[in-house]
Every structure is written in C-alpha cells, then in structure tokens.
Amino acid sequence: MIIDLNHYNKIVFFTGAGMSAESGVPTYRGSGGIWHKYNWKEYACQVAFDKDPQQVLDFHELRRKSVLECETHKGHHFITELQKIYNDVTIVTQNIDGMHQRAGTKNVIELHGSLWRLRCDDCGFAIDDIGESFTKKKCDCGKYLRPDIIWFEDMLNTKVIQQASERIQECDLFISIGTSGVVWPAAGFPQEAKSNGAYCIEMNTESTELSYLFDEVIICRASEIGKYFID
Ligand code: ZN
C-alpha cells in the first residue's frame, strides 16, 4: 500500500520510543530499558531532585551522552524532507531525546519535555537547547537547574497537551510511528484523530493494542517509513 500525500493538507506524525530505538537510543520502559537498571525514584522524580540534585543531574548528563552517540536514521530524514514540500507537518512525540530536531525537523511538540532543556522553578529562567558541552548545574539565582522533563509523578504540561490535541483534531492524516500508545494521554490521540475525520495509519514493528483503531496498519521499521509514501 502506497499513501499519496497529495491527498492531504495537514499531517501529524505521532512518534514514540520505536522511532528512536532504531537509532540506538536506549529505551526507558520494557525489557532491557533504563528503568530496569535505575530506580526512577532515585533519578527521575521531583522528590529525588530535591533530595539529591547532583545525582539526578548526573543521571541526565549520562542520558544526553548516550543520545549523542546515536545517529538519526532515514525515517527522521524522511519527515524533515517532507516538511520542505508540505507546509503543514507537525510532529507530536513522546520522546525526550531531541532526535527529530537533530535530523533538522521543525514543528516538534514534545509531550514529555526534553533532555536538552533546563529550567529554574524558582526564578523562571529557562534554557531551550543546552547544546552538547553544557555542564552548568546551577542557575544564576543559586538554585539547581532542573531538566525540563515530565518526570514520574509530575503533572503533564496541559499547554503542551492542548497544543498537540489541537493539531491532531485539525489534521487529515495521522501517522503513528513506533509507539504502542498505551500511556495516557498518548493513548487517546489516534481516537481523537479518527473521530475528527483524519485518515489514520499505524507504522510499527508489530501490531499494538490500538491497531484496530487505524485505517491502515503497516508493519515496518521506523527507518523504512519513506517507502510507503509518494509525494
Ligand atoms: Zn533561577
């Protein structure tokens, strides 16, 4: 099945861990994931940060280092190229690794924040992209800079969810890549797209609990997605 992109005006790519896994980015959940090696209660929640910010920041430094060792793949680049042809292509991602942006993709909505952003909850200072050699731990106001990530037990960022939700409701083509979609609010997105009339495609290495919602299910690797479209 080949999808002709000329039939659509607003495209949303919804990506999850499977998009990055093929680049070699370690996954968090699932077997062999980071949460099997590290207890999130010590490394990825506000309580841990308040108790031992240095340890939490060192952990995130390690995460960034391991992301930097990875390369973007053909799937990332396909989306970037598509954005040069179509002006309404949005990426909604569950990933915090910034791999889409590294491939030159724009218009990326990060549901769970980013390893590359830091913020100070005390004075409101924020850094959008800390770059590769960032080592500063503290804000000028003296507080530790916190990774701008949705940690365990954090509330989701309602503004970001709202933004994603709006794009998904408006789109006429919704393509889910590398996500099993079981974690809320992501689990609701395919349904949201579908009930607003979008054509929905799932691309994953295996079928998922949500496959039945999609108009089309394509079993493929994230790097191969470009093969299924013509523009
Ligand atoms: Zn500050």
Classify each residue of 131-146 as buried b or exposed e, where b means 16 or more C-beta atoms within 10 Å of its C-beta. Answer: eeeeeeeebeeeebbb
pLDDT for 205 equals: 96
Distance in angstroms (rounded) separating the CA atoms of residues 59 and 43 = 7
CA of 117 to the centre of ligand 1 (A): 14
pTM: 0.95
Overall fold of domain 26-69+115-149: SIR2/SIRT2 'Small Domain' (3.30.1600)
pLDDT, the chain, mean: 94
Does the pLDDT value for residue 2 go beyond 80? yes
| Residue 12 burial by Cβ neighbours in a 10 Å radius (0-12, 13-18, 19+) | buried
The stretch 171-200 carries a mean pLDDT of 92
Does the pLDDT value for residue 64 go beyond 80? yes
CA of 148 to the centre of ligand 1 (A): 13
pLDDT for 134 equals: 74
Structure-token match 């309602």, residue found: 158
Per residue in 65-98, pLDDT (tens digit) is 999 999 999 999 999 999 999 989 999 999 999 9
% residues pLDDT > 90 (the chain): 84
Where does 1-24+72-112+156-231 sit in CATH, by number?
3.40.50.1220
pLDDT for 44 equals: 97
Question: What residue segments make up the domains of the chain, in order of their start?
Answer: 1-24+72-112+156-231, 26-69+115-149
pLDDT for 87 equals: 84
Per residue in 6-39, pLDDT (tens digit) is 899 999 999 999 999 999 998 888 778 899 999 9
Per residue in 100-139, pLDDT (tens digit) is 999 999 999 999 999 999 999 999 999 988 888 777 899 9
pLDDT for 96 equals: 97
CA of 99 to the centre of ligand 1 (A): 28
The stretch 206-220 carries a mean pLDDT of 95
How do strand 113-119 and strand 126-127 relate by DSSP bridges?
A: antiparallel
| Helix H or strand E segment including 146 | strand 146-149
Which one, of 172, 178, 181, lies nearest residue 199 by Cα? 172
% residues pLDDT > 70 (the chain): 100
pLDDT for 185 equals: 78
CA of 141 to the centre of ligand 1 (A): 4
Does the pLDDT value for residue 182 go beyond 80? no
Total residues belonging to the chain: 231
Q: List CB-based neighbours of ion ligand 1 within 5 Å.
A: 120, 122-123, 125, 139, 141, 143
pLDDT for 230 equals: 84
